[in-house]
Structure 1
Amino acid sequence: MENPIVYSPVDAGKIISDTAANLMKSAATSGWAKVKKYFKDFSAEESIEIGTAFNDYIRVTQERNSKIKTLIYRRVPKDIYSFYECVGLRLEGKVIKTSNVSDVLKIGKKILVTGTGGIGKSILMKHLFLSTIKETEYIPVLLELRKFNGMENKDISIYRAVYQTLSDNGFALADEYYKYSLEKGGYIILLDGFDEVNRDKLKKVQDEIKSFSDKFEKNTYIISSRPTEMFIGWNDFVETSVMPLSKKQALSLVNKIEFDESAKRAFYTELSRTLYDKYTSFASNPLLLTIMLLTFSNHASIPENLNEFYEEAFTTLFNMHDATKDCYLRDIRTGLGCEEFKTVFSYICFKSYFRGQFEFTEHQLRERIQEAQSRFPLYKFTIEDFQEDLTLSVCMLVKDGLSYRFSHRSFQEYFAALYTCKLTDDVQSKLLATWFDESISVVGDEYMAMLYNLQPDKVNKIVLCPGLKKLKELYDSMGFSVELLKELFSGVHLRRLYKLENSKRVTDYTIDFGISNRYLCNILMITCKLNHFFYSNAEGIKKSREIASTWVSEREKQDPQNRYHIEPIEFDDLMIFLDEHNFTVADFLEACKWVEARFIFSFKILEKYSENSISRKKKVSSILDEL
């Protein structure tokens, strides 16, 4: 058995933070000398003026991005290097270190960083921003993509947003200089939170990212997001996934956190002995590890499942005044009890989640609270008191400039799921079926997994089975055929895969599909995800790669300059291609066996439950208005 690591209350975080701050200061003052090569010739006077503006930009943005609020540090932003653990990126079985951005840049010019909620994507992006200042000769720009949610589609522009970020932070350039520096490849552009863009803006933001990164291809683009189907077809982007915390990293993170020393020491010891190994899925996630510390300090135990975990976390935060000090005082201005407050908050989460609101203006937040106030007239509280409790007492929301956002989206998703359980079966079925028809985030979000954990049989029976019945009817009438695939998918996409062999990137391709019937595709994917589908077919994978690689080879012959810009393939064109290259329809269906396996697995779920399909005539928005 591994010996437990001994708790040592050394302020390593302060040492690292101070060292990083000194390095950043040095980098900021010498910044212009490193990057002025990306700009057209200036006069000596212009160079001094613009150089001063650039150094101001680095100083201001470095200061802003080096501090954040967390569940522990709830009132005063904390330097990230006082507690941050550098997580790795997984790329086809290899681990890429992120402590120095230079290692990340070796992956390529266009990088996707995906990971589940709480894994640390946003803080990683801040770290990469700061590392760019310290370690490279590029200009870093960090954009939070959710800022586009407040814009009209016609006003969304990555070109303008990058310029605005530079200008707002003191580095205002004439357009000719700005464009020239982009053409020269002077930037590392970090786009954080693609999954936080509202669904009515997603297509526009996606198109903007693609066109901007194609036009100014010499720059480096790093985009963070939860996994999403929209990345299918982004063939010139390398997709990586954020690694979980190792046991050593988890212990190091706990050691760095400022918290009641006796509680932290006890938790650290138990984490080293048994808790990490027993609850790896919790302890390897920075957010959930923090919640583990909070709940352990309050209950001296850890819940067995994720739903209980969030329940205890909320209860702990509700009853705790300041986790960084040795005091636990209840300070709720509304006077509501824990269950009453949770009911109101759950309603706010429910309404905002289905409206695609992940952050609020002051006015929007007050509207949501007033809406909940009207919904629960027996609960007496003022809008002002509830707003203050959300941000200062329970810390479910964080104020960020003029906006309010959830301390983490997973809280919004859990409490939205909790409120969903209070709805009648008929309303749940209609709402979720319509949402499946409209949303592209069903699979990537944690909402459905949380709802399933709260009511597994009901989700299978009233949410999934109506759609599975429709799928079964199609399958029975068409069999597993190209005609069936046409009913669900818009065409074939080629998914680009990467492997690192001897430090060199090797490219491979496989077959995937673009979604046409969103409702049925979401039903199929969610059924398999929630009910733990697993499938492996070496022959099918081999055939898929064979067909895909042949298509890519033909594409490269026709247009070698744009070999990565592979458009989706319509089924009719695919049939012609297969025939011309000695592949049969049977070969193609063999390559797609993984799809048929999902059908067969899902039909076994259908057999367990019996329910008629429910009408889906309304929009999500109209159903919400009635609730």
Structure 2
Amino acid sequence: MKFGLLTWLPEENHPARNVLEGLSWVSAIIAVVPTALLAIGWAWRTNPPNDGERVTPVRVGPPIIGVVPALLVLLSGSPWWALAVFFLVEAAVFASGLLGALGQVLQERITDWTRRTITSGMVRFGAQYRAFMLRSLRTMVEEGPPTTGFLRPELDDVFVNVTLEYQAPQRVATGLVGGLDPDTLEEGHVLDDFLDKEQPEVLAVTGAPGSGKTTLLRKAARDICKSTRGKRKRRSVPLLLYLRDHAETIAANPEVPVFTLLHKQLKRAGLTASDSWFERRLKSGQCVVLLDGLDEVARQDDRRAVSAWVALQISVYYKNHFVITSRPDGYKSAKIENATVLAVQQFTDGQIEKFVHSWYRTIERRSSSDTSDLEHVVKTKASDLLERLNQNVNLRALTVNPLLLTMIVNVHRFRGALPGSRVDLYGEICEVMLWRRQEAKKLAVEMSGQKKAALLRGLAYRMMKNDAPSMSRVEVLAQIKPGMQRMSRDVTAEGFLADVTSNGLIVESENGLYAFAHLTFQEYLAAEHIRDKGLVKELANHVGSSWWRETTLLYAAKSDADAIVRACLDRGSTAALLLAFDCADQDSELAPELVDRMNAFLESAHEPGASSDQCLLAAGVLAGRHLGELVRTSTESYVCPSPITNRIYWLYQRGQQDHDAYRLSNVESGGEEAVLGVRLEDALAFTRWLNTVFTENKTFRLVEEDEVADHAITSARSTRRGATSDYSVWFRRKEQNAFGLLPPPGGEHPYHLRTEVLLERTKADVLDHAPDLVRLALLLAFRRAEQASLGLDLMQNRIKKAAESNTRLRQSDVDVKLSNRRRELSSGPRELTQNLEGERELITSLGLEPALDTILGVLNAIIQSPRASRVKHLQHGRRLAKELAGELSPEFTRTLTTAENGVRPDVSEQFTGRALKSIMNRALVGGAVREPWMTRLAEDLVLLAAGSDDFVVAPPDTLADRMDLTHTALVAFSQSEDVENFLPWALKASSALQDLAVPILRYEQPVDRGPASLIRFSALLLAAETGVERRGVLSKSFLEIAAGITLMEQHHEGTRKRNETIVLARA
């Protein structure tokens, strides 16, 4: 084909044609080659090779692809066409590249938009799902209790984490209350311990009805949803399903995925998720699957199907945690393969206290606009309930179950204070467990709750009649079958028994016996049966039986109790009379004449002519009522925080024929204050008597030390009558058959006597015995003067003999030596003279000034007079010494000296003992005088006897026995072979002290000032004397006798009151 100028030219051989054809070739080549090179450069610039990458045809091919067809056309002889083909192909390549680039940009933008849209949708659903879960799980679930508050507490505010224990399914407790002994369990776990693990866990959480299984899963789901990104749990997506709602779907389609069931559940709540949202997270192991209530799948076949379905989900989505809850009986029939079985443990004391305080805090915060005093109000109301629960054994036993504890709090808050409203509480518990809970969960109920209750009431009554807390399966079925035939033809007796067993009101023991979960339920239902059937005569016939007591009180709380009270008064026993008064406390309807008879019974015991039996009967009734207010301690013992009252003890001791008037003369007949001043032997005797009164399964003992300090007891004491903190409590030691006395908190031990008090009393004793002690002092002073004079004579004779044998010794030297030695020997008499002069006023006041002057004359003669003058003064002094010794009082002489049969001995150690002589010598010649001689003597005596101790422990009631034992030990010591320098004075003084002290220490004689003073002074001297003999035990015993008589003296004077009292616990 020709075109352009060539079409206008002549034939092919025309010169112009040849020129033009040559030019076309050149033009084509010139156009194609540079264009191709430019294309290669453009490709290189827009898509440069990486470092080290080889340049390949693939990289440069597209930009120069038009060269190939252009060359082919050119070789065919058509240069212009070749040029046209080249540009057309290059244009197409360029256009395709441009479109490709544009497509790539468009593709990237579409991909990015799709990704952002999908991601945004996923994030938006995740946030919506978490918000839905937090919203739907915000409050506590109330499963049917009739008494509820005006609001539901929020789950986070009142939740108390339950403890989980590894447990075999057959060992998990099935009843509402009761379970394994906490002491047999290892340290518990909480659910988070398992959910925080990296490895997937399969947990079967089993527990009794109301033990908190559902609440545990709801709280776990909330906690997972509440976790933030920085603290997001390892598995951050909770799936919570109530199996009862999906049992039919699972039975119809055993392979239905768990997320499909969840979709249906969410759809009903208006929340839609993509089919893959949950599936992807399940496959990647991001989920915690929480499946509640395996036991609530009614039909046995359906339950097994659900169990198999759960196993399938676990195997498919094995990277996730699975938690399945069930009651023990329901799980045993449909176990989950390879699941770790955990048992929910009952609440501990600490968990109960925490829940009650949290519940009241939530209610009070939301019910009042004024929260300034919130914590005080919460503490007051919560403490009131906790104390009431601790005081009622039956109510306290129910609080270990979280559901029952919740009901207890609601009833106490909204239906009246417990235990007065406990009948209402028991009724509500039975209703909830028999049918209201099933209705709240929309579970199928084959038999009405009223009919179930009627059958159980009849069963409970029959068990009471048979004195049976449990029955065999055969007996139970025989009892309920007649009633079943009247009430339902669709439910068998076996099916009914299985139903009430699964709901926790009836429990089956390992030996096949059936019983109510707690005896309280049996007693309550029996009382309801008696009320319905008009069988009050049955109760009147058993007023003396402890087995029927609680049933009777539960009946009387809602019914006319005349027949019961009349039977009690006619019976006249302690147990029957106590029941009558307790019925009256139930606000029962009572005839006025019965109330009058009860009051007259108590008043008659206070009449002057009341018999011992009357007094003891009244004391027993009052003690029984007093001890009915027991409080549970943290060690699960039961203590009456209030001490025995004056009124009870007055009636008791009035009924005792051998009562000792010296023991408790201050007891008032009508006082409700704590009886004080009770000796240990009296406290033990009272307890023994009390245990003869309550013979049926009720014995008491003295409290133990840790019980007195228990928080429940101390808080109860602060609100009880007679529960002040200024008394000491007798207690029993656990490990040994011994007892002790616990002083009041922050108070002084009643048997501790401070040494400073003992010193003050001893100073007074010294003044009381001043006439005798001053005479002894003058005798000792004369004795020292005699010794000084004798020493002076010996010294003079020695020097004179030395001078005679030494002729070179001048007389002047002898005189100087005699003068120096006389000065040395006279220092003692001179100091003694000064000290005696200092006591002239005291000595003169005792009429002994002439005796003082005589002794001073002897001392002065020794200091400065010649021998003849000294002899004269000494003779006069000896006559005076005999007179002074003869003037000592008989009591002093008999107790503190070895004088016998009127013989007046000297003033040697054998006469007064080493300790007294040493003390008086130090007091007479004690250096610089800063205190009166009598004061120094008392201080030295107490220091020598008591040492540096701040106080002495001296139980007054043991002192008489201690005195006897100490004297016996001293006699044995005096006869031992290793004793050296033992003085008969100590043995004589100890014997005299025993004769004087024991009658007073045994409360056989009053504690008068004179004898008490002599006992204390003598005991201190003996403590000092035996201390000198290094007999520490003896010395301590004598010191305790001195301190003990001081305490007794204080009690007698009223300067220190005895505060020992009796607090009892159930044995």
TM-score between the two structures when normalised by the length of structure 2: 0.28
Higher relative contact order (CA 8 A, sep 6+): 1
Instruction: Please say which structure displays the higher CA radius of gyration.
Output: 2
Higher percent of residues as strand: 1
